[in-house]
């Protein structure tokens, strides 16, 4: 807009200056021509003589191919030239050319008249010399300049517009880069922004980074708090459980023993929940900076099965390991993967009826798929995708206590490893199969 | 008569009379011929100063290209052409003349139409004016010398050398130099006035020639005849193209182009305001300005076509410039003054 106004202003100024320059050039040459003719006037006796100089008219042809008219007027009549060429309205003063513009023989002409006295004493007469020229060349010059000015103006406008667009996009590009850098981030990525930014944007980036640092600190504190709380709860719980165990053995009355067993079971659940909260906090923390260790999935699964073997035995549940004979290479964070598997297996044991089977199977096709299949009650008609979110449990958990964190932990770990968690529930209502699918290395 | 030079027999002041006085008599027609087309669709009326035998091949070729056009060709003298168009408002579709000054006057005073085409734009700048006057030939003014007179002797190669030679042996040259009577010939007048502009030596030359009782001629043809016969030793300001064509049939003379400068006259065409058949007139202008692309016609008509290269090859050649300066010597006072000077120099009894 500003560029357009400037261009128009430029164009108008150039045009008017050009017109003035062209006109004054024509006026100068006309004056020179008329003066040359006036200078060649002389008197012979009472006659006025004129030796018209060739250059007087020839010079008018140097700038353009304009038509030329002249008239030499003595006061009594026309000495020579075009006797219908109009004389100036008022006799010009000596030494001062008079200019006029009028139409003559079908074209607008610029005319100059000079006065020169010829003769001496009383016989001196003022002779008027008028030279006129059409303004074709003037118009042409002015048109050429106008066209040029128009071109230059348009060029100005285009260049200015282009430059401002370029400047705007150049100025906006870092912001777009920054936006992209921030938008591409995962939900837990709170590292400072390091995208290349111009100095003008540094305050914004700094503010953003400082905000993220505070957010990150706050989140960490949160997780720390949960972990700390869980830890602090679990330790006294273990003591309470031990005491309850001893008391249980000492009790004789069946109703007392039942009550105590209930208590021990509740304590177990609480300890489990605390453990899961700890796991979850750990998962949150470790996924931010995921380790890329090479590990053996087979050994890892074996370890988890061993650890939960005792719990399973309590309910007479058989854990069937359907594993290949050779090691299964995988890449990732061993502790996280272990926590994920442990939570899944723990869940399976929890929801399986007594004297049932849990099959842990590994399939290696395109992906590495670790499935845990139980004969439990499944998930009912719960929304399978929502199950993975925090503190969400199946619709048919009934009397079984749980935190709703187990699947969440497994899901977050799998996703951190670039994999996914697959939940398949048996349509007949018995048994579920949860698979941890990881990309193969 | 070739190039209508006899047509340029002008009585002194005739131009002035044609321009500034009210003529009683109508313009004079020397010759007129109609070239009818087989199936006539239009008629092109040309007024020209070029003789029929010169223009005949050109008109025939034009008609071959434009079979529907009948050509009505009128030959006049330069002053009559001027009178017809300028004074009497006669209607012609095309005016062809060797008088650059009069053509310029017609264009300057608004008697010509503007026309541009690829053919006219291809002309060099000096060969057109205002897109109204279009030159199609370039014809130098030369000196012709008698072979017999200059036998075993190098003829002069510049005006100064000629002056020196004349002063050296006045008796040899007395009564044996010829030039135009500029009072009677439009071409002679134009060449003389251009000479007077170009060089101070022109007036000295006139003085010397006047003292040696120079013979005055109306036309190039008679000068060539007298030089070839040995009656004249040399003739000054002869139309070169004419001399060149005469060289083929006449012995006894040579053409000399001076090294200081050679005025080159341009034969031009213009479309008058009174033209009615403008389309064919424009076609004829295109045809004439492309004369250089038709060597056959150049050979037949013996009209040298516009050739900008020739001016590079010989820098002494100077085409007479179209500009308002050409109007100066048409000014009555100027003409009177010039002729007075000329008579003072050349007619010394």
Please indicate, yes or no, whether residues B216 and B341 belong to a single structural domain of this protein. yes
**Residue range A343-364: average pLDDT?**
86
Return the pLDDT at B2.
46
Ramachandran sector of residue A117 (left: φ over 0; alpha: ψ -120 to 50; beta: rest): beta
Chain-chain contact of B328 with A80 (C-beta, under 8 angstroms): no
Chain-centroid distance, C-alpha B223? 15
- Say whether both B232 and B288 belong to one domain: no
Are residues A356 and A418 located together in one domain of the fold? yes
The ipTM assigned to this model is 0.82
Residues A136 and A213 in one domain: no
Helix residue spans in B235-317 (DSSP H): 240-247, 278-289, 295-301, 308-313
pLDDT tens readout for residues A55-64 = 999 998 887 8
Residue B3 has pLDDT above 70, yes or no: no
Residues B303 and B265: their CA atoms lie apart, in Å, by 12
Query: Domain for residue A10, yes or no?
Result: yes
We report the CATH number of the domain holding residue A71 as 3.30.450
Q: What pLDDT is attached to residue A201?
A: 77
**Whether residues B115 and B146 fall in one domain:** no
Mind listing the pLDDT tens digit for each residue in B232-289? 999 999 999 999 989 989 999 999 999 999 999 999 999 999 999 999 999 999 999 9
Tell me, yes or no, whether A164 lies in a domain. Answer: no
Whether residues A425 and A309 share a domain: the answer is yes
Among A346, A351, A331, residue whose Cα is nearest residue A416: A331
* Same domain for B228 and B270: no
From A288, A323, A352, the end of a domain falls on A288
Which domain CATH number covers A430?
3.30.565.10
Question: Quick one: A314 and A425 in the same domain?
Answer: yes
Answer whether residue B16 shows pLDDT above 70. Answer: no
Give the pLDDT score at B158.
Answer: 93
Domain-located, residue A180: no
Q: How far is A31 from chain B (nearest CA, A)?
A: 16
For residue B338, what is the nearest residue in chain A, using CA coordinates? A51
The predicted pLDDT at position B189 comes to 94
Neighbours of A320 (CB within 10 A): 12
Structure tokens at B143: 């000196």
Chain A within 8 Å of B322 (Cβ-Cβ)?
yes
**Residue B57, φ and ψ in degrees, nearest 5:** -60, -35
Q: Which pLDDT value is given to residue A255? A: 87
- CATH code at B198? 3.40.190.10
Q: What is the pLDDT, as a whole number, of residue A381?
A: 66
State whether A246 and A317 are in the same domain.
no
Residue A198 vs residue A423, higher pLDDT: A423
Considering the domain boundaries, does residue B295 fall inside one? yes
Assigned domain for A170 exists: no
pLDDT of residue B120: 95
Mean pLDDT throughout A76-105? 88
Does pLDDT of A426 surpass 80? no
Residue B70 Cα to chain centre, angstroms: 27
Q: Evaluate if residue B35 carries a pLDDT over 90.
A: yes
* pLDDT at residue A149 tops 90: no
| Mean pLDDT over each residue of chain A, to the nearest integer | 83
Are A22 and A123 in the same domain?
Answer: yes
Of A212-216, A275-279, A379-383, minimum mean pLDDT range:
A379-383
pLDDT at B12: 36
Of B108, B323, B337, the CB nearest to A58: B323
Residue B252 and residue B173 share a domain = yes
Q: Which of A57, A81, A105 sits opposite B324 (nearest CB)?
A: A57
Residue B305 falls inside a structural domain: yes
Residue B134 sits at the chain A interface (C-beta within 8 Å): no
Residues A363 and A250 in one domain: no
Q: Does position A308 have pLDDT exceeding 80, yes or no?
A: yes
- Smallest CA–CA separation between B58 and chain A, in Å? 30
What pLDDT does B137 receive? 95
Confidence class of residue A324 from pLDDT cuts 50, 70 and 90?
Answer: confident
Range of the domain at B298: 2-138+266-321
Q: Confidence band (pLDDT; 50, 70, 90) for B349?
A: low
Are B121 and B7 members of one domain? yes
CA-CA distances (angstroms) from residue A205 to A187, B177, B261?
18, 103, 83
**Predicted pLDDT at A186:** 67
Of all residues in chain A, the percent with pLDDT exceeding 90 is 11
The alpha carbon of residue A140 is apart from the nearest alpha carbon of chain B, in Å, by 12
pLDDT at B20: 45
Regarding whether B270 and B214 lie in a shared domain, the answer is: no
User: Residue A215's pLDDT is what?
Assistant: 85
pLDDT in tens, B124-139: 999 999 999 999 999 9
Residue of A52, A66, A104 to mutate, interface with B, max B Cβ within 10 Å: A52
Question: Residue A148's pLDDT is what?
Answer: 83
B327 touches chain A (CB under 8 A): yes
Q: B326 in a domain, yes or no?
A: no
Task: Confirm if B297 and B58 have CB atoms less than 8 A apart.
Answer: yes
Asked if residue A84 is part of any domain, the answer here is: yes
pLDDT at A306 over 50: yes
Residues B338, B200 share a domain: yes
Tell me if chain B has a CB within 8 Å of the CB of A51: yes
| Average pLDDT over every residue of A424-437 | 79
Positive or negative, the CA dihedral B115, A60, A151, A12 is: negative
**pLDDT of A162-203, one tens digit each?**
888 888 888 788 778 878 877 877 666 777 777 777 777 788
State the average pLDDT for chain B. 89
Question: Does a structural domain hold residue B212?
Answer: yes
Q: What's the pLDDT score for residue A376?
A: 80
Q: Residue B204: pLDDT band by 50, 70, 90 thresholds?
A: very high
For residue B152, the SS3 value is coil
Whole-number pLDDT of residue A403: 63
Q: Are A171 and A201 in contact (CB under 8 A)?
A: no
Contact check, Cβ <8 Å, A52/B333: yes
Say if residue B166's pLDDT is above 90: yes
Q: Tell me which chain B residues have a C-beta less than 8 angstroms from the C-beta of A67.
A: 107-110, 130, 324
In a domain? residue A176? no
Q: Are residues B101 and B182 in the same domain?
A: no
Does A154 reside within a domain?
A: no
Q: How far is A61 from chain B (nearest CA, A)?
A: 5
Within this chain, do residues B106 and B157 fall inside the same structural domain, yes or no?
no
Nearest to A52 among B108, B109, B331 (CB): B331
Shared domain for A140 and A30, answered yes or no, is yes
Q: Are residue A296 and residue A400 in the same domain, yes or no? A: yes
pLDDT reported for residue B95: 97
Q: Using CB atoms, which residue from B129, B197, B329 is nearest to A65?
A: B129
What band does A439 get if pLDDT is binned at 50, 70 and 90?
A: confident
Q: Which of B323, B301, B331 is nearest to B61 (CA)?
A: B301
CA distance A52 to chain B (A): 6
Q: Using a CB-CB distance cutoff of 8 angstroms, which residues of chain B are in contact with residue A47?
A: none
A366 touches chain B (CB under 8 A): no
pLDDT tens digits for B82-107?
A: 999 999 999 999 999 999 999 999 99
Pick from B109, B325, B337: which is nearest to A57 by CB? B325
**Closest approach of chain A CAs to the CA of B181, in angstroms?**
22
A13-22 mean pLDDT: 82
Give, in degrees to the nearest 5, the angle at Cα B52 between B47 and B58. Answer: 85
Q: What is the model's pLDDT at position A427?
A: 66
pLDDT band at B167 (very low <50, low <70, confident <90, very high): very high
**pLDDT at residue A87 greater than cutoff 50:** yes
Least confident range from A283-292, A382-391, B254-263: namely A382-391
Instruction: Give contacts of B 77-96 with A, CB under 8 A.
Output: none
Residues A211 and A242 in one domain: yes
Q: Which range among A161-175, A273-287, B157-171, B333-347 shows the weakest confidence by mean pLDDT?
A: A273-287
In chain A, what residues touch B108 (CB-CB under 8 Å)? 67-69
- Contact assignment for A67 to B107 by CB distance below 8 Å: yes
The answer to whether B130 faces chain A, any CB pair under 8 Å, is yes
Burial tier of A172 (Cβ tally within 10 Å: 0-12, 13-18, 19+): exposed
Residues B106 and B177 in one domain: no
Structure confidence at residue A378 (pLDDT): 72
Q: How many domains does chain A have?
A: 3
- For the segment B24-30, the average pLDDT, to the nearest whole number, is 76
Q: Find the domain containing A52 and state its range.
A: 2-144
Model pLDDT, residue A266:
84
- Residues A304, A282 share a domain: no
pLDDT band at B6 (very low <50, low <70, confident <90, very high): very low
- In angstroms, the separation between the Cα of residue B139 and the nearest Cα of chain A is 22
Please tell me the distance in Å from B128's CA to the nearest CA on chain A. 10
Q: What is the dihedral of CA A326, A330, A336, A339, to 10 degrees?
A: -30
Q: What is the pLDDT of residue B154?
A: 92
Beta-carbon contacts of A53 under 8 Å, excluding residues fewer than 6 positions away, are: A36, A37, A40, B328
pLDDT of residue A89: 85
Top residue of B197, B325, B337 to mutate, by most chain A CBs within 10 Å, is: B325
- How many domains are there within chain B? 2
Task: Determine, for residues A65 and B329 on separate chains, whether the beta-carbon distance falls below 8 Å.
Answer: no
Q: Is a pLDDT exceeding 90 seen at residue A125? A: no
Give the least confident one: A59-63, A269-273, A333-337, B158-162.
A269-273
Do A137 and A29 lie in a common domain? yes
Nearest CA in chain B to A52: B334
Predicted TM-score of the model (pTM): 0.64
Structure tokens at A345: 């297996």
The whole-number pLDDT of residue B23 equals 41
Considering only the beta carbons, identify the residue of A51, A80, A107 that sits closest to B332. A80
Residues B16 and B126 in one domain: yes
A287 Cα distance to chain centroid: 29
Could you say which of A57, A65, A79 has the minimum Cβ distance to residue B328?
A57
Q: Is A410 part of any domain?
A: yes
Answer yes or no: do B130 and A49 touch at CB < 8 A.
no
Q: Does B108 touch chain A (CB under 8 A)?
A: yes
Strand partners, A371: A361, A435
> Does position A226 have pLDDT exceeding 80, yes or no?
no
Q: Which residue of B has its CA nearest to A64?
A: B130
Q: How many cross-chain Cβ pairs, A to B, lie less than 8 Å apart? A: 61
Between chains, do A65 and B328 touch, taking CB under 8 Å as contact?
no
Residues on chain B touching A61 (C-beta within 8 angstroms): 321-325
Query: Which of residues B42 and A246 earns the better pLDDT score?
Result: B42
Q: Do A53 and B328 touch (CB under 8 A)?
A: yes
């Amino acid at each position: 807009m500003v560029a357009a106004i400037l261009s128009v202003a430029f164009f108008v100024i150039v045009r008017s200056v050009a017109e003035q320059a062209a006109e004054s050039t024509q006026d100068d040459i006309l004056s020179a021509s008329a003066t040359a003719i006036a200078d060649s006037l002389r008197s012979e006796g009472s006659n006025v003589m004129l030796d018209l100089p060739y250059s007087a008219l020839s010079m008018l042809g140097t700038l353009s191919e304009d038509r030329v008219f002249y008239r030499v007027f003595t006061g009594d009549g026309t000495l020579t030239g075009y006797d219908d060429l109009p004389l100036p309205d008022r006799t010009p003063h000596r030494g001062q050319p008079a200019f006029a513009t009028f139409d003559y023989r079908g074209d607008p002409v610029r005319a100059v008249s000079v006065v020169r006295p010829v003769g001496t004493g009383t016989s001196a007469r003022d002779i008027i010399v008028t030279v006129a020229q059409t303004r074709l060349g003037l118009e042409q010059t002015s048109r050429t300049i106008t066209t040029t000015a128009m071109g230059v103006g348009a060029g100005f406008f285009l260049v200015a517009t282009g430059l401002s667009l370029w400047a705007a996009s150049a100025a906006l590009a870092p912001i777009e880069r920054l936006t992209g850098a921030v938008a591409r981030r995962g939900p837990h990525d709170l590292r400072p922004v390091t995208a290349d930014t111009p100095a003008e944007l540094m305050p914004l980036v700094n503010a953003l980074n400082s905000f993220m640092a505070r957010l990150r600190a706050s989140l960490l504190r949160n997780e720390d708090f949960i972990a700390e709380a869980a830890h602090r709860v679990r330790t006294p719980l273990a003591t309470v459980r031990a005491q309850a165990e001893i008391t249980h053995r000492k009790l004789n009355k069946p109703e007392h023993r039942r009550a105590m067993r209930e208590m021990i079971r509740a304590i177990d659940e609480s300890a489990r929940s605390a453990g899961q909260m700890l796991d979850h906090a750990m998962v949150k923390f470790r996924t931010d900076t995921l380790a890329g260790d090479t590990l053996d999935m087979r050994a890892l699964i074996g370890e988890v099965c061993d650890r939960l073997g005792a719990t399973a035995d309590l309910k007479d549940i058989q854990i069937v390991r359907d594993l290949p004979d050779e090691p299964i290479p995988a890449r990732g964070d061993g502790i996280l993967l272990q926590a994920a598997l442990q939570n899944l297996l723990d869940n399976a044991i929890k929801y399986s009826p007594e004297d049932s089977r849990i099959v842990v199977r590994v399939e290696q096709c395109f992906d590495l798929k670790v499935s845990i299949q139980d004969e439990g009650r499944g998930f009912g008609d719960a929304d399978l995708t929502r199950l993975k979110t925090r503190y969400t449990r199946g619709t048919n958990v009934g009397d079984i206590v749980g935190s709703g964190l187990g699947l969440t932990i497994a899901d977050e770990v799998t996703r951190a490893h670039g994999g996914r968690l697959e939940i398949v529930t048996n349509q007949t209502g018995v048994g579920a199969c949860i698979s941890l699918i990881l990309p193969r290395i | 008569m070739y190039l209508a030079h006899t047509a340029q027999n002008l009585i002194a002041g005739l131009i002035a009379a044609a321009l500034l006085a009210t003529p009683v008599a109508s313009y004079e027609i020397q010759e007129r011929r109609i070239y009818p087309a087989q199936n006539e669709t239009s008629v092109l009326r040309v007024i020209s100063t070029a003789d029929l035998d010169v223009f005949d091949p050109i008109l025939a070729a034009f008609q071959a290209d434009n079979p529907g056009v009948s050509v009505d060709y009128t030959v006049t003298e330069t002053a009559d052409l001027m009178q017809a168009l300028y004074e009497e408002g006669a209607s012609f579709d095309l005016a062809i003349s060797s008088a650059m000054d009069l053509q310029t006057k017609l264009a300057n005073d608004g008697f010509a139409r503007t026309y541009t085409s690829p053919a006219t734009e291809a002309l060099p700048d000096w060969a057109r004016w205002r897109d109204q006057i279009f030159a199609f030939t370039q014809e130098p003014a030369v000196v012709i010398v008698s072979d017999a007179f200059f036998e075993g002797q190098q003829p002069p190669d510049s005006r100064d050398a000629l002056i020196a030679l004349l002063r050296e042996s006045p008796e040899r040259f007395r009564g044996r130099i010829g030039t135009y009577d500029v009072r009677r010939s439009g071409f002679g007048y134009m060449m003389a006035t251009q000479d007077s502009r170009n060089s101070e030596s022109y007036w000295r030359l006139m003085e010397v020639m006047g003292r040696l009782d120079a013979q005055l001629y109306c036309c190039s043809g008679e000068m060539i005849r007298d030089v070839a016969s040995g009656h004249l030793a040399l003739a000054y300001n002869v139309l070169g193209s004419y001399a060149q064509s005469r060289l083929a049939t006449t012995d006894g003379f040579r053409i000399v182009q001076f090294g200081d400068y050679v005025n080159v006259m341009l034969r031009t065409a213009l479309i008058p305001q009174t033209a009615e058949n403008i389309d064919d007139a424009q076609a004829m202008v295109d045809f004439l300005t492309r004369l250089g692309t038709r060597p056959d016609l150049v050979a037949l008509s013996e009209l040298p076509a516009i050739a900008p290269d020739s001016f590079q090859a010989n820098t002494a050649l100077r085409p007479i410039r179209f500009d308002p300066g050409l109007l100066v010597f048409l000014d009555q006072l100027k003409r009177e003054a010039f002729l007075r000077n000329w008579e003072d120099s050349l007619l010394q009894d």
